[in-house]
């Protein structure tokens, strides 16, 4: 499973800069990202536990979780009305697991602001509303089609349409009160029914407040203030300096650490973004050890063992027999699998086992 993020935001807010920072990319920010020419980059999620496991298990290969970022380019403003390129943009955005909204905080008079002035709160709200409008447009289109289809529908089909109409009507009413789908009280059945629509306000949203270098000393207070106003379930704000983070990725390790210390940056912006995204998506990592490979996998917290096995291979889900599990901490304490086995710390878990963060798992399956 690969996690994919869509980067959105107003023009010239620093989307490509943040994209470069996140992916170690070097896309030229002097050029505007054009509609239909999205940048796609993959980054490996650093997890210090993988290095420790590598030291213990000596695999031939170690594979971290990878995350893809898509710098959509064209502004999402007006997405709802736009039929042409909007269709393409929307389908690109529909696929992603979560959205990153870059808002401009940096002040630079040489770079005109698309809205005429700097106003972080306004820009965060504007983009949230754009997502609401886009979802409303999807619902309107679908309701229109249901109306037409109902005319020719048989009794049984009519019931299905009526049911969908009612659900979409309910979601629409909440969206009109600016309540994003992710905050709406939907039953698991309703959530399943609407999953195909891929509503944008149903996706976790990470707002990245893109500050300038000279604003670094205010980063904590800014982030706190913005979160107190805009943080909601599955939505939070992180403030970072995209330009500095981008420049840091271009340095060698040693120089980068010196610079980090200089700017008093303890955790890299990239690591924080990944960590927060993991939290927003409710993800944890487990580690598979098989075929001389240690590999980290992202799953939703509480995922049942066969489903987790299915992330590795569908055969492993279908033919799941059991999972041999040890927690990362126990394995580290024992220093070797054989020792853990001797101490009885290697557990046999069945189909109903729910995977925990840091589980080191070998799946037994039969096809
Ligand atoms: N001074 C300053 N400039 C920045 C900062 N972050 C980005 N910029 C500049 O702002 C301009 C726009 O940045 P991009 O990353 O290209 O922003 P974008 O949203 O991708 O812009 P478009 O694709 O052109 O709409 C570039 O000239 C960047 O160098 C910052 O923190 N400080
Ligand atoms: Mg750009």
Residue of the CA atom closest to atom 5 of ligand 1: 243
CA distance 199 to 221: 32
Could you tell me if 152 and 110 lie in one domain?
no
Percentage of the chain modeled with pLDDT above 90 = 67
Report how far ligand 2's centroid is from the alpha carbon of 109 (Å). Answer: 18
Question: Is 108 close to ligand 1, i.e. is its CB under 6 Å away?
Answer: yes
Looking up residue 65, the CATH number of its domain turns out to be 3.40.50.300
Give the pLDDT score at 288: 95
User: For residue 198, which of 123, 94, 86 has the smallest C-alpha distance?
Assistant: 94
Span 21-44, average pLDDT: 83
Q: How many CB atoms lie within 10 A of CB 219?
A: 18
* Contact in structure between 243 and 14 (CB atoms under 8 Å): yes
Does ligand 1 lie within 6 Å of residue 242's CB atom?
Answer: yes
What mean pLDDT value characterizes the chain? 90
- Tell me the per-residue pLDDT of 320-335, one tens digit each, with 9 for 90 and over: 999 999 999 999 999 9
User: Residue 85: what pLDDT?
Assistant: 42
Position 184 pLDDT exceeds 80 = yes
pLDDT of residue 74: 67
Indicate the SS3 state at residue 225: helix
Q: Which of 18, 37, 243 to mutate to test the pocket of ligand 1 (most atoms within 8 A of CB)?
A: 243
Q: What is the mean pLDDT of residues 245-261?
A: 87
What pLDDT, in 10s, does the model give residues 80-97?
665 544 577 788 888 899
| pLDDT at position 261 | 84
Q: What is the CATH number of the domain that holds 164?
A: 1.10.150.300
What's the CATH code of the domain at 327? 3.10.20.30
Q: What is the mean pLDDT of the segment spanning 173-191? A: 96
Spatial CA neighbour of 308 closest among 294, 289, 291, 287: 287
Least confident of 194-203, 257-266, 310-319: 257-266
152, 184, 201 - which closes a domain: 201
CA nearest 3: which of 242, 204, 231?
Answer: 204
Report d(CA 336, CA 95) in Å as an integer.
41
* Parent domain of 170: 131-201
State the distance between the two ends of the chain, measured CA to CA, in whole angstroms: 21
In a domain, 123, yes or no: no
The confidence score (pLDDT) of residue 84 equals 42
Distance between CA atoms of 151 and 32, rounded to whole angstroms?
Answer: 47
pTM over 0.95: no
Task: Read off the pLDDT band of 307 (50, 70, 90).
Answer: very high
10 and 83 belong to one structural domain = yes
Q: Which pLDDT tens digit goes with each residue over 147-160?
A: 999 998 888 899 99
Lowest mean pLDDT among 56-70, 81-95, 208-222, 316-330: 81-95
DSSP 96-129: -SEEEEEEE----TTS--TTSS--HHHHHHHHHH
User: What was the pLDDT predicted at 325?
Assistant: 96
The two structure tokens encoding residue 141:
């289109």
What letter does residue 351 receive in the DSSP assignment? Answer: T
Ligand 1 contacts CB of residue 27 (under 6 A): no
Q: Closest Cα to atom 17, ligand 1: which residue?
A: 14
Kindly give the number of the ligand 1 atom that is closest to the alpha carbon of 71: 20
């Amino acid at each position: 499973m690969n996690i994919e993020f869509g980067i959105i935001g107003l023009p010239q807010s620093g989307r490509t800069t943040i994209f470069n920072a996140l992916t170690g990319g070097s896309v030229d920010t002097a050029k505007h990202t054009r509609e239909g020419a999205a940048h796609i980059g993959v980054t490996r999620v650093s997890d210090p536990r993988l290095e420790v496991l590598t030291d213990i298990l000596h695999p031939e290969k170690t594979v971290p979780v990878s995350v893809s970022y898509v710098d959509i380019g064209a502004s999402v403003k007006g997405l709802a009305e736009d039929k042409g390129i909007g269709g393409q943009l929307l389908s690109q955005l529909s696929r992603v697991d979560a959205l990153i909204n870059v808002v401009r905080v940096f002040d630079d008079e040489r770079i005109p602001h698309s809205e005429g002035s700097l106003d972080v709160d306004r820009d965060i709200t504007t983009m949230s509303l754009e997502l609401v409008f886009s979802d409303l447009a999807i619902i309107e289109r679908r309701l229109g089609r249901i109306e037409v289809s109902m005319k020719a529908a048989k009794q049984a089909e009519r019931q299905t349409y009526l049911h969908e109409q009612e659900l979409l009507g309910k979601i629409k009413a909440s969206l009109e009160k600016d309540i994003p789908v992710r905050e709406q009280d939907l039953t698991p059945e309703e959530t399943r029914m609407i999953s195909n629509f891929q509503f944008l306000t149903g996706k976790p949203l990470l707002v990245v407040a893109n500050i300038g270098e000279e604003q670094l000393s205010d980063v904590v207070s800014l982030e706190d203030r913005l979160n107190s106003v805009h943080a909601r379930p599955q939505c939070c704000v992180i403030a970072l300096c995209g330009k500095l983070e981008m420049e840091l990725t271009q340095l060698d390790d040693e120089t980068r650490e010196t610079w980090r210390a200089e700017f008093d940056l303890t955790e890299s912006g990239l690591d924080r973004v990944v960590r927060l995204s993991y939290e927003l998506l409710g993800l944890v990592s487990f580690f598979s050890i098989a075929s001389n490979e240690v590999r980290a996998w992202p799953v939703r917290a509480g995922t049942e063992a066969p489903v987790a096995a299915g992330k590795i291979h569908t055969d492993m889900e279908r033919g799941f027999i059991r999972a041999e599990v040890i927690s990362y901490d126990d394995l580290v304490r024992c220093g070797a699998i054989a020792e853990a086995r001797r101490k009885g710390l290697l557990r046999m878990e069945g189909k109903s086992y729910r995977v925990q963060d840091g589980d080191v798992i070998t799946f037994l399956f039969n096809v």
